[in-house]
Each structure stands twice: as structure tokens, then as C-alpha cells.
Amino acid sequence: MLTYVWLGFTHAREMDVPYGMALVGNVVFSAAAVVLLGAATVRLRRRTRAPEVG
């Protein structure tokens, strides 16, 4: 997913979309991707937590 985020910024120049609109779209997509990745990380860490001994 982060590859798409990175490539989105580099391909903005090749599309027939105004630069400002492409930049805003890429920033929104990037933020959503990072939030989704963070949420998945938190869920996986909760799920795979080792049982406490004590």
C-alpha cells in the first residue's frame, strides 16, 4: 500500500489532472493509508500478545 502512496506522488506529473488537485488527492490517500496501516498494526499486536505469566 505504501508503494502506491509513493508512486502516486511521482505519477501526478504524468496525468492530465491539475497539479494542486493531484497533490491534495495524494495527501488524502496517503493519510488514509497510514491510518489504515496503523489500525492494522494495533489490531495485530492486540491479537498476538503473549500471555502474561504471574
- Give the three cell numbers for residue 36: 489504515
Domain presence at residue 34: yes
Domain presence at residue 38: yes
Q: How many domains is the chain built from?
A: 1
Range 32-54 burial, b when 16+ CB lie within 10 A, else e = eeeeeeeeeeeeeeeeeeeeeee
Domain presence at residue 54: no
Whole domain around residue 28: which residue ranges? 2-46
Domain presence at residue 15: yes
Q: pLDDT per residue over 8-53, tens digit each?
A: 888 877 888 888 898 899 999 999 999 999 999 999 988 776 666 7
Domain presence at residue 51: no
Mean of pLDDT values over 3-7: 86
